[in-house]
Structure 1
Amino acid sequence: MNTKKDLFLPALTAALKNKKVTWSESLSPQDWSSLFHIASVHHVLPMIYEAVYNCPAARNADPQIFARAKQQTIHSVMLQTMKTNEFLNLFRHLRQSGVHALVVKGIVCRNLYPNPDYRISGDEDILIPEDQFELCHQTMLDYGMQLADQAQDIYTEHEVPYGKPGSPLYIELHKCLFPPKSDAYGDLNRFFKNVQDRAVKLSIDGEEVVTMGHTDHLFYLICHAFKHFLHSGFGIRQVCDIVLFANHYGKEIDWIRILRQCREIHADLFTAALFRIGQKYLTFDPVLAGFPKEWQEIRVDEQPLLDDLLDAGIYGDGTMSRKHSSNITLNAVSAQKQGKNAEHSVIKTLFPPMKSMERRYHYLKKYPMLLPAAWISRILKYRKEISKSQNNDAAQAVAIGNRRVELLKQYKILDK
């Protein structure tokens, strides 16, 4: 039995429909353990547990396996409920203080699920005009938020994270949606320059939130998945977000504009494959979404992408080897955009350029002459991770990276 396709995907589809599975055939303890493990890796355990716990096949299952899954589910849902309430209070405080904040992803997507707090979010994302950063930063501090990274230069970074002592709330504050210095996808920001002008208001749990217009938001969800695909991949939950968003707002979405923009960034086959996965395995309804023939006529094999994202985990970190493989794929894309051969990316993988290293080693901004020392530190850290972690092998990371480069070529993100 293929646990991912025979158990995980059907259970996930049932959850998206607010239904229960009706499995009657007995499953082995290994099957149940594998199912809940996959659900945890993809951050959808509460959804899967809710869909399967009362089916006939579960009645004869190992109670300890279900007890662990139940305990994790209760904890995750309670924590998410707390985060949701805290975030809505914070967002109200920001708006009342004159901050023109937009909510992206997170709570907007969560609100589309039958049981919103069963769709777990690690953080909430807020987008503000860059010239409002000072006001927003002070307003966050007034609310009790604190910088998550005290060493970060908050005035030069495009994204500033905050946490709140004694609270599970974690905020990523964006001045722009993608790292501007990224050779691979920094140019995606051009599509979102004027999103404030197209903002819409939604009611969530009785609170008014402001977010991007539906076309902008769907395209951002696609771009966000695409960004992670260029790294080490992404998981099925992001596909669920895209599918539910398209089903809910599809008739108000400018699909042709999205197709034009996807073609511009070489993500049209990738996106078509996402919707093919959604239609074949999840709940995407082309009629309900107003999915036009221009999209439906695109011929693409979705199976390689499905296999990749099921292996990936939530953000491509299913294994450490896979996580480290991102250096190969990302640098291959960067090399192509700079008109260089893909082989050039191998050297860049081992010795990243200054602007890439600065994001992790903040001291390089002040002392650029320490770049060689930062390279050595990076290599030593990687060797330390290998020694301490399972599923973390340099040769395996290279193999995964090379395989995923071929996948990017298959979807015409990279040239053959």
Structure 2
Amino acid sequence: MTSNTIDNLFMLCRAHMYSNDKTESENDKYELDFEELKVMIQENSLSAFLYKPVKEFNDKNGIISQEVIADYGRYIQAVMFRELSKNYGIKKLCKEAENRGIRLVFFKGILLADLYPQYAERTSSDSDILVDDKDKEAAEKLLVELGYEKNLEHSKNHVQVYSNNVLDHVVELHTRLWEDYTGPRIDILDKMELSCLQTDIRTMACGIEVNTLGYEKHLVYQLFHIIKHFSLDGIGIRYLIDTTLFVNRYCEDIDFDLFWKHIELLGYTKFVEAFFQICVKELKMTDKVFENHAYMLDHSVDDLKMDLLKVGITKDKDAGWQIMGAMEGYFTGEAKAPKTEIKRKLSMVFPSLDALPKTYIYARRYPILLPFAWVHRAIKFIIRRNGHKEAFYSVSEKIDVGERRIHLMDELGLMRND
């Protein structure tokens, strides 16, 4: 990944985000390495978003063959058609929910897609909807009546997953914004009441009138969601685009003093400062986010920037989920950060009770059984790896990947250090 390709990627993003800014499209016009750029675009789920600026760039500079561009265009047409189909499903769901008096609160998804030059350019795998416990049964019944089938394998206590194969649409029906996670940070989030009748708003998103979270509360939720994925498996630069577009659209409506208070309570300040700094520098996010804020970050943001561009730890393997259980205790604030490299590596093999994945509930209840849980994990790893050798991390890879993740999280202030 060359610095020139990274610069070109951000240049193309800016060119599309700010269509009136055409000056950058002349830069480096004979130096674009499309093969390397294409990999980064795909890994960061930006294919639909960047098709137009890539084509415009190529129309001027002729770097990419017309055959390749035509194939790219046909692929994007199919991708965007799927997004239109999902939008139809959401519209139908909203209309019927209104008729039945079921209050649905949308977050992420169409609220962020609405900020894009064309909403179908933001591809997504599902629609996230929050519903009150008292309306959960009625909402699930409605989904079934509209042709959605429950995915029992992926459903959780507080997230029911439904899919409609005809519309190619997946709905995640939440009764809690933070899914089934528990821990000190989740307790803090719970007290913030990010969604409630008093602060939720009614707005238009992708041509549909919906309920959603208040402005600064939605931004707090977005950062929680970003940090969740960053901690457990890594994120790409599309999250930078989502956040930049949201802040630039609603900066006058966001109470940044309240926002930073919430972020400080969660222990997210250093990470958010670094994340925002990249947004400001690379994507022209307004620097109003830092007004009246005492800056804490005391180091370069290059490590975070490169991690985002590489989409964290899942870039080279299909089994990035292997690391998630090992990282959950650090994300929720239950586990403390090991301070040395050797201790971080040992923690991936012999996790403390607080860092032990919650699936080993017997050891959490009876700490004397912790060594048995370590053996249990090792046996499960060997059994699973035998069936997925190519996609699986080896023991040394898992240790190295986990150690780097813990180190980066600690550097960005996301670890409990008390």
Alignment deviations for residues 336-369 of structure 1 (CA, whole Å, 9 cap, x no partner): 62569665553249998674369xxxxxxxxxxx
Please give the residue correspondences for 1:152-163 in structure 2 after superposition, counting only pairs within 5 Å.
157-163=157-163
Alignment deviations for residues 237-283 of structure 1 (CA, whole Å, 9 cap, x no partner): 11211111111111111212221121122110100111101100012
Q: Alignment RMSD, CA only?
A: 3.2
Normalising to structure 1: TM-score of the pair? 0.84
Alignment deviations for residues 116-159 of structure 1 (CA, whole Å, 9 cap, x no partner): 1111111110001122211111111122211022x57x6x7111
Normalising to structure 2: TM-score of the pair? 0.83
1:12–1:397 Cα change, 3 Å: farther
2: CA distance, partners of 1:94 / 1:357: 39
| More deviation, 204-213/171-180 | 204-213
Partner of 1:63: 66
1:350–1:72 Cα change, 3 Å: farther
1:324 aligns with 2:322: yes
Partner of 2:30: 26
Partner of 1:362: none
Which letter maps to 2:328?
L
| More deviation, 173-182/139-148 | 173-182
Q: Is the 8 A contact 1:272 1:295 kept in 2?
A: no
2: CA distance, partners of 1:357 / 1:74: 46
1:388 aligns with 2:390: yes
Q: Deviation of residue 310 (structure 1)? A: 0.8
Which letter maps to 2:136?
F
Alignment deviations for residues 391-416 of structure 1 (CA, whole Å, 9 cap, x no partner): x4442232122112111111122256
Partner of 1:401: 402
2:334 to 337, 341, 351: 337
Partner of 2:149: 146
Partner of 2:56: 54
| More deviation, 278-287/319-328 | 319-328
Tell me the number of residue pairs that the alignment of Structure 1 and Structure 2 aligns. Answer: 394
1:136 to 135, 139, 142: 139
1:216–1:302 Cα change, 3 Å: same
SS at match of 2:129: strand
Which letter maps to 1:317?
T
2: CA distance, partners of 1:274 / 1:233: 13
1:211 aligns with 2:212: yes
Q: Is the 8 A contact 2:127 2:170 kept in 1?
A: yes
1:312 aligns with 2:311: yes
1:272 aligns with 2:273: yes
2: CA distance, partners of 1:312 / 1:349: 27
| More deviation, 53-62/252-261 | 53-62
SS at match of 2:101: coil
1:356–1:248 Cα change, 3 Å: farther
1:192–1:169 Cα change, 3 Å: farther
Q: Deviation of residue 319 (structure 1)? A: 2.6
2: CA distance, partners of 1:181 / 1:47: 32
1:42 aligns with 2:44: yes
1:160–1:378 Cα change, 3 Å: farther
SS at match of 1:251: coil
Partner of 2:172: 172
2: CA distance, partners of 1:219 / 1:351: 26
Q: Deviation of residue 67 (structure 1)? A: 3.2
Q: Is the 8 A contact 1:101 1:127 kept in 2?
A: yes
Partner of 2:366: none
2: CA distance, partners of 1:90 / 1:185: 33
Q: Is the 8 A contact 2:269 2:296 kept in 1?
A: no
After the TM superposition, list the runs of 4 or more consecutive aligned residues in structure 1 that deviate by more than 6 angstroms.
Answer: 349-352, 370-375
Partner of 1:303: 302
| More deviation, 47-56/247-256 | 47-56
Q: Deviation of residue 180 (structure 1)? A: 3.7
1:118 aligns with 2:125: no
2: CA distance, partners of 1:317 / 1:145: 30
2: CA distance, partners of 1:4 / 1:303: 16
